[in-house]
């Protein structure tokens, strides 16, 4: 049996890679995504990659780690945590989950490969969220499909462009890894709301800012992310921007560029080799 509903592939093809799209999947009954298996995975993973955070933070500053000492694996085994958002970061390091991610992306390859080429740097994240969990406004410099396994979510996306995401924030992310963004009430008018039920999956375009609200029941979601040759080139071009500014040359801005910045990316790689960056 396919993991992705084949009827969803044309829907994704109409949107990928620039627009969000909801497709259907058959993962809700996958044993690896049940609470018992996820608790075992949490025990097998390095502790630093199993995060337990405040579930009702209003913004990025409040989205901090819990310090009450509760074991995330125990909380997952009990069916979730009523007062926390738990993330298993990098679940692809476990062989069974790595195989699952590769199987999912193999089924999506007929859509992904013609548009952005072979997938690279595949990563997986599992979110076990308390009812009412609010994930503050942020962006991820990856292509992403979020598979809703249990519970519901409202996933609100914005375009990866100013005023939601500017060049300074893009560069800060690639320098320091900080992906939280400031939320303004006026942004709500531009949001696209996606109401996800078990069996729904949402494709989120590269770097699209978003925020997420879980429903009134415990939620389990699997996020599968990847890069392409073009997205890697974008990262390399952004790394070159400080040098270009020092020389009085225009910086690369993905929101204004047309096509991948291949020449800038090549110059960036040369700069790294000679110690210029």
Average pLDDT per consecutive 10 residues, the chain (277 residues; last block may be shorter): 94 96 96 97 96 85 80 92 92 98 97 96 97 95 97 97 95 89 93 97 97 96 97 92 89 87 89 81
Dihedral angle of Cα 150, 151, 152, 158, to the nearest 10 degrees: -60
Q: Look at residue 175 in the predicted model and tell me its pLDDT.
A: 83
Structure tokens at 55: 């579930």
Structure confidence at residue 270 (pLDDT): 87
Question: CB burial class (10 A; 0-12, 13-18, 19+) of residue 165?
Answer: buried
Beta bridge pairs of residue 200: 24
- Buried/exposed 208-229: b ≥16 CB within 10 Å, e otherwise: bbbbbbbbeebbbbbbbbbbbe
Q: What architecture is domain 6-227?
A: Sandwich (2.60)
Contact between residue 45 and residue 121 where contact means Cβ atoms under 8 Å apart: no
pTM of the complete model: 0.95
Backbone angles phi, psi at 93, to 5 degrees: -70, -15
Question: What pLDDT score was predicted for residue 54?
Answer: 85
Tokens in use for 269? 């790689």
| Cα 268–Cα 270–Cα 274 angle in degrees, nearest 5 | 115
Tell which residue, 67, 83, 225, 66, has the closest CA to residue 145: 225
pLDDT value of residue 61: 78
Backbone φ, ψ for residue 181 (5° rounding): -125, 155
Contacts of 108 (CB under 8 A, 6+ apart): 4, 9, 12, 145
Collect contacts of 264-272 with beta carbons under 8 A, ≥24 apart: 264/233, 264/236, 264/237, 264/240, 265/232, 265/233, 265/234, 265/236, 265/237, 267/240, 268/236, 268/237, 268/239, 268/240, 269/236, 271/240, 271/243, 272/239
- In total, the chain counts a number of residues equal to 277
| Range list for CATH 2.60.120.650 in the chain | 6-227
> Residues 238, 166: contact at Cβ < 8 Å?
no
Give the model's pLDDT for residue 199: 97
What pLDDT score was predicted for residue 259?
84
Strand partners, 194: 155
């Amino acid at each position: 049996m396919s993991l992705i509903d084949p009827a969803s592939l044309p829907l994704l093809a109409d949107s990928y890679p620039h627009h969000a799209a909801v497709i259907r999947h058959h993962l809700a009954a996958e044993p690896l995504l049940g609470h018992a298996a996820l608790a075992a995975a949490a025990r097998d993973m390095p502790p630093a990659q199993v995060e337990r955070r405040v579930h009702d933070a209003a913004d990025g500053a409040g989205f901090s780690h819990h310090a009450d000492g509760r074991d995330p694996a125990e909380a997952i085994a009990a069916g979730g945590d009523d007062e926390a958002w738990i993330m298993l970061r990098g679940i692809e390091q476990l062989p069974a989950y790595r195989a699952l991610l590769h199987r999912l992306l193999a089924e999506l390859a007929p859509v992904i490969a013609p548009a952005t080429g072979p997938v690279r740097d595949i990563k997986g994240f599992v979110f076990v969220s308390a009812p009412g969990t609010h994930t503050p406004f942020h962006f991820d410099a990856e292509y992403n499909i979020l598979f809703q396994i249990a519970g519901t979510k409202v996933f609100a996306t914005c375009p990866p462009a100013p005023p939601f995401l500017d060049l300074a924030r893009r560069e800060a992310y690639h320098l320091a890894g900080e992906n939280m963004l400031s939320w303004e009430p006026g942004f709500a008018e531009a949001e696209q709301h996606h109401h996800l039920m078990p069996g729904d999956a949402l494709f989120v375009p590269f770097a699209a800012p978003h925020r997420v609200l879980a429903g009134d029941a415990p939620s389990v979601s699997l996020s599968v992310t990847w890069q392409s040759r073009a997205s890697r080139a974008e990262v390399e071009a952004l790394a070159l921007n400080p040098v270009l500014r020092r020389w009085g040359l225009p910086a690369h801005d993905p929101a204004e560029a047309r096509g991948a910045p291949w020449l800038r990316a090549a110059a960036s790689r040369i700069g790294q080799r000679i110690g210029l960056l």
